Amino acid sequence: MRKKRNKHMSDKKKIIVGLSALAFMYLAATIFFANHFFFRSQINGIDVSLKTTKQAEEKIISVISKYSLEIEGQDGIKGKINGKEIGLAINEGNKIKEFKSKQDSFKWISSIFNKNHEQIEGLITFDKELLKEKLNKENFFSSKEVNEPKDVSFEYSDNGYKMIPEVNGNKIKKEAVYESVQNAILNQNNLLNLEQANCYEKPKYTSKSKEAKEAMELLNKYTNLKVTYNFGSNEEILDGSTINKWLYVDENMKVGFNEKKVRTYVDSLAVKYNTFGETRKFAASTGKIVQVDGGNYGWVISKAEEVKSLIEVIKKGKDAKKEPIYSQKAVSHDKNDIGSTYVEINLTRQHMWFYKNGALVTEGDIVTGNTSANFGTPAGTYVLNYKERNATLKGEGYSSPVDFWMPFNGNIGIHDATWRTEFGKDIYVKSGSHGCINSPYYLANAIYDNITPGTPIVCYTE
């Protein structure tokens, strides 16, 4: 029994001795770390583990005295900055001691597992002007060929649009280089890659950008369609081969329309299909084919409105059939655009006919404008503006009430003239109207009852 007790006492003593030894080691280390940096301690990237503040300062001075920074640029361009060239030194002061004072020596065990890194601002100093001077002489800034970065762009072909990849270029960002180099020196880094440090100007949009992909989709949407214009029996086909010339992508990858170019296209339609005021070959009732110049009749495309309309049609991205928006319409798109319902006025013979759907409704002699007084009725193809019963025609020196009033060229129109007893012949030469078509009552009445606004009025001389 005594032997067992002695053995138990012996084991207890060993534990006590072991614990005492551990306590002694802990206290000894605590005392040591009261004046030394913990394990895994760094100041501005320089290892100062297990060193006193003085030893740490000496270590930092030793490191920076040999310090150099290699700089890598594009196309294999390299540069080097030596600490001595820029007056690299340690800043005097108590910054290292301040860092040490934050260390609780009783917690030294935790430093075995945790990093104890400190970036002390202002610990290392250098001459910034000398640094700039040195950098400005490097090849990064003195490259003779500077290639500007270019955003992704788009090119049209028969198969639609494709992306032209962006160009990174080699244009350096000086301020970014200055800042990156300074930070590298302060952190005591030995290598700086300018590409990785984002010191080159980059394209805003690349082929992988969401905005570029959306622009591409929209460009193809606008050009993968066909717009068919109808001009009676004639058609004009508009497709991507023309539309692509109107499109552009701005600096924010927004697709837009060059309205001036769209207007040029609409202008070409107007040149081809507008008939307003043009010279017409007219089959007169006398059997002759006469040339009729001028007037205000004919097709007129409203160019500004049609540009807007066409752009909106294209934006829908679907095939479409359309007519232009007209500010004035004629009866037909045929070569004879006046159709078969019209008033015919022969200024030479002083005679007027009215045809409706190709059938003669009425005809008779008339009196037109007084040519001796320069009031001659202008030739041309016109359109009836409106018609009115019981109107009073007023002008300089006259006021004439009429039963039937049908204006077609400003203040010139067809009306009854009950104050006249005869019509036709050469009355108009010296005793004509102020430009209007003076008609017998029956003739004005018959035309009024059968005509509608918009009907062509053809005035001509033989």
- Give 14's DSSP letter: H
d(CA 245, CA 134) in angstroms, rounded, equals 50
d(CA 219, CA 213) in angstroms, rounded, equals 10
With the C-alpha atoms ordered 9, 10, 11, 12, is the resulting torsion angle positive or negative?
positive
Q: Which residues of the chain have pLDDT under 70?
A: 1-9, 11, 17-18, 92-93, 142-144
DSSP secondary structure of 312-369: HHHHTTS-EEE---EEE--S-SSSSTTTT-EEEEETTTTEEEEEETTEEEEEEE-B-B
- 437 neighbors 345 (Cβ within 8 angstroms): yes
Residue 436 appears among annotated catalytic residues: yes
Closest to 75 in 3D by CA, of 124, 175, 145, 154: 145
Q: How far is CA 60 from CA 114, 181, 211, 215, in A?
A: 22, 19, 50, 55
Catalytic-labelled residue, pool 36, 199, 415, 459: 415
**Beta strands 116-118 and 41-43, pairing class:** parallel
Q: How far is CA 196 from CA 32, 45, 146, 177, 456, in A?
A: 42, 20, 19, 11, 77
pLDDT of 340: 95
Q: Give me the architecture of the 342-460 domain, per CATH.
A: Beta Barrel (2.40)
**Beta strands 191-193 and 68-72, pairing class:** parallel
In this structure, the number of other CB atoms found within 10 A of the CB of residue 399 comes to: 8
| Helix/strand/coil for 175 | helix
Q: Name the strand (E) or helix (H) holding 239.
A: strand 234-239
- 187 neighbors 179 (Cβ within 8 angstroms): no
Catalytic-labelled residue, pool 36, 199, 434, 436: 436
Of 3.20.20.140, 3.10.20.800, 3.40.1410.10, 3.55.50.30, the CATH number of 211-274+298-328 is 3.10.20.800
pLDDT of 5: 55
**Beta strands 388-395 and 398-409, pairing class:** antiparallel
pLDDT of 93: 60
- Give 84's DSSP letter: G
pLDDT of 372: 96
pLDDT of 365: 98
Residue 459 appears among annotated catalytic residues: no
Helix, strand, coil fractions of the chain, as percent rounded to 5: 35, 30, 35
pLDDT tens profile 363-402: 999 999 999 999 999 999 999 999 999 999 988 778 899 9
